Amino acid sequence: MSNSIFYQVQVLDNGDPMMLGRIRARLLTDNYQDIVRSITDPPWNEEKDKWSFRDPFIFNPLLPYFVYQVPKVDEMCQIIYTDKDFKYQNQYYVQNTFSSPTATNFEYYVGGNKFTGTGTQLKTPKPLKNQDGTYTNNIMKGVFPEPGDNALLGRGNADVIVKENEVLIRAGKFQGTNLEPNIIPAGSSKRGFLQLSRFNTTKYKKPDKILSQFDEIVVSVKYLIEWIIVNPENTQNKLSGNVYLYQLKPDLSTNSENLTVGSEVKENLKSLVASESFTLLSVSEVADFINNFIQTCNNTDKTKSGLTLFTDNNNKFPIFYRPNNLTYSYIKSASIIGSDPNTSAATKNISDIFNQVKLQPALKQGGYGLIYTKGKVGKPLTIKTSIVSQNAYSSDPTTYGALGSDKLFLLSHNSSIPGKGKINFENTLYGISAEQFVDEILPKTSSLVRGEELLQLVNMIVRFLVTHTHAYPGLAPVPVTQDGSNVSELLTELQNSTTKILNENIRLN
């Protein structure tokens, strides 16, 4: 024989009648028929001699019996001899590698050589991870063991994962029935599982924190007040101008977010409602005139002269007041070029008026403002309240245990529900079938009770019993008790108890 240490075989049969995990296999370099023809005295009998002491194709598992791992027929194994000069004696096998985790349900023996020196001609399967360690598709994250963890894997949907501080027993870990080569399995959150975990810290809840914040409400401005000074350059303190009231059409440019002291409003969006003019007034008198007009719009629907301003006085807000764009340009240009307002009579006059124009004297901002409701200037706001969970951690280790599946059964050999009979556990030693769960176990179990919900119902009943009264002796109780309990609520809770108190998916006998 060559100097090889390991040899490859094709599995012919895995049905060991001794159930020790032995297999019948042939070396890939051997011819089965040539070998059996060489067996004489008596000649080889395929029917009687298989699995007997005469069978040269029997290989024992190299791993201990307690790690039961038997390959399927036509898969590949690696074999080793105690003494390679004596073939067919004291020969052992170990499971061969696979070309991909998705091929572990079954892989023909040729494919098992993909990542050996003889597998270069085989097509490379799809990788499950990128070279940087990230998944090529996150839908399969968690289906297969991660490096550093220990595991016992089934050929399909079940496994046992042992992490550093956690044990997982899972069935139904991916969607679908079987693994398919080169098809990425999608993880299933509806798996059946048992999880035992130890966490190095303990998390506990603190009282929730209530946070309030003001959010601006964007509204459509309905009316616009604009004031203009026609002779702002006057140095004799004798100013003239006008105050206009416009009704605005709904538009993005006329909402409370976009309408500002200097924004442009297209003329086709403005409809003149009223105007008042003034002549030969001082700066302070002009400011008072404008303020009186603004206050009139805020307080009533008509001017002192009887001019109607609003047809619906209760539906006129929001109202925005400001200088028109030409008047405001004096202030705007002065701020841009950084000139001293005192060097320009027009700029000084308009700035003085601008600072005094207010709905209310106490307002800090002069010249413009949004009256979003009667007597209120500013941005319309709403209070948004949110509850933030507060958690804390201690250094005390904590262990958790969780059992989950679509349906859970807690079963006792010695218990039975009166009238339903005992569960027959015959033929369930190697696992309970789906038919047995549905036909035998489900009818003989009952729903589990939710404790807190049951106590709520009991509390309602006790409160009703303690606080109820009767109109007259012998009559039914008054529907509403002294503490506010009533018959209608109690009957509703009783009707809801089958779904609120009982969990039909967690059952026991």
Question: In the chain, where are the structural domains located?
Answer: 7-96, 223-379, 407-508
Write out the E strands in 22-153: 23-27, 58-61, 76-81, 91-95, 150-153
Q: Check whether 1 has a pLDDT greater than 60.
A: no
The strand pairing partners of 381, in sequence order, are: 216
pLDDT value for 337: 47
Structural contact between residues 286 and 353, judged by C-beta atoms closer than 8 angstroms: yes
Rg (CA), the chain: 44
Structural contact between residues 108 and 72, judged by C-beta atoms closer than 8 angstroms: no
The separation between CA 270 and the C-alpha centre of its own chain, rounded to angstroms, equals 48
Mean model confidence pLDDT for the chain: 91
* 193's tokens: 């599982």
Structural contact between residues 32 and 26, judged by C-beta atoms closer than 8 angstroms: yes
Write out the E strands in 282-419: 319-323, 369-373, 376-377, 381-394, 398-404, 408-410
Distances (CA, A) of 358 to 354, 363, 378: 9, 7, 12
* 463's tokens: 């409160």
- The confidence band for 2, taking pLDDT boundaries of 50, 70 and 90, is low
| Burial status of residue 241 (CB atoms within 10 A of its CB: 0-12, 13-18, 19 or more) | buried
- Region of 200 (left: φ > 0; alpha: ψ -120 to 50; beta: rest) is alpha
Q: Render pLDDT for 355-373 as a digit per residue (tens, 0 to 9).
A: 999 999 999 999 999 999 9
d(CA 353, CA 367): 8
- Measured in degrees and rounded to the nearest 5, phi and psi for residue 214 equal -95, 125
Q: Which of 190, 325, 207 is nearest to 265 (CA)?
A: 325
Region 113-121 average pLDDT: 81
- The confidence band for 82, taking pLDDT boundaries of 50, 70 and 90, is confident
Q: Which of 104, 144, 113 is nearest to 128 (CA)?
A: 144
Q: Which residue has the tokens 């051997």?
A: 30
Region 157-168 average pLDDT: 95
d(CA 476, CA 482): 15
Region 16-35 average pLDDT: 94
Q: Check whether 505 has a pLDDT greater than 90.
A: yes
Who's near 393: CB < 8 A, 6+ residues apart?
201, 202, 203, 204
Overall residue count recorded for the chain in this entry: 509
Q: Check whether 339 has a pLDDT greater than 80.
A: no
d(CA 192, CA 171): 5
Long-range contacts formed by 499-505: CB under 8 A, 24+ apart: 500/450, 500/453, 501/449, 501/450, 501/453, 501/454, 501/457, 502/447, 502/448, 502/449, 502/450, 503/447, 503/448, 503/449, 503/450, 504/447, 505/406, 505/407, 505/408
Distances (CA, A) of 142 to 164, 185, 188, 338: 16, 10, 9, 65
Q: Check whether 343 has a pLDDT greater than 60.
A: no
Q: Check whether 479 has a pLDDT greater than 90.
A: no
pTM of the prediction? 0.64
Region 462-476 average pLDDT: 85
Q: Render pLDDT for 288-325 as a digit per residue (tens, 0 to 9).
A: 999 999 999 999 998 888 888 998 888 999 999 999 99
Q: Render pLDDT for 129-153 as a digit per residue (tens, 0 to 9).
A: 998 999 999 999 999 999 999 999 9
